[in-house]
Amino acid sequence: MKTYIVLLRGINVSGKNKLPMAELREILKELGFRNVQTYIQSGNIVLESTETKEKICKKIRIGIHEKYGYDVPVLARSPKEWKEAIKAYPFSIENDKIVAFTFLDKVSKEVKIEVKGIKEDQYKIDRDVVYLHCPSGFGKTKLTNNVFENKLDVIATTRNYKTTIKLLEMATNE
């Protein structure tokens, strides 16, 4: 069994795609995953499986669609990949409230994109992660999942610093 950190994109946002975490944990257990844990209500999961990341994502996506009737993008990372992403963060983490990680479903071919109006906000595309440093605040930044999805032709989901660190702790029992 290997441990994975799994992210769901776009659940429990503005009343759309409601998915209670207790029900999600049950679905995941029914799908054969072990030691399933969730963190807050936005689709953050730590689980164990013998399957590949690709199979895990497909299985979860189909399971949610069959039960709820909507399609939810799913991304998975190993704890090692997660730790490497955190370690590679290129900006200051002095104020961790303006730090975030946008995880992509595949490696981006682009390393720079044109985003108008980002002001002092910064980003760095590094393979399958976009590092965000947003002094303007995440409610105001132009550096959104939709922008990265449209410009990079990927599925993207963002987690703040606190959530990213907590998921690593859960996955590694540190």
> Domains of the chain, with CATH numbers?
2-77 (3.30.70.1280), 79-172 (no CATH)
Tens of pLDDT, residue by residue, the chain (174 residues)? 999 999 999 886 666 778 888 999 999 999 999 999 999 988 999 999 999 999 999 999 999 999 999 899 999 999 999 999 999 999 999 999 999 999 999 999 999 999 999 999 999 999 999 999 999 999 899 999 999 999 999 999 999 999 999 999 999 986
Label residues 24-55 b or e (16+ Cβ within 10 Å = b). Answer: bbebbeebebeebebbeebbbbbbebebebee
pTM, full prediction: 0.94
Q: What local confidence, expressed as pLDDT, does residue 173 receive?
A: 83
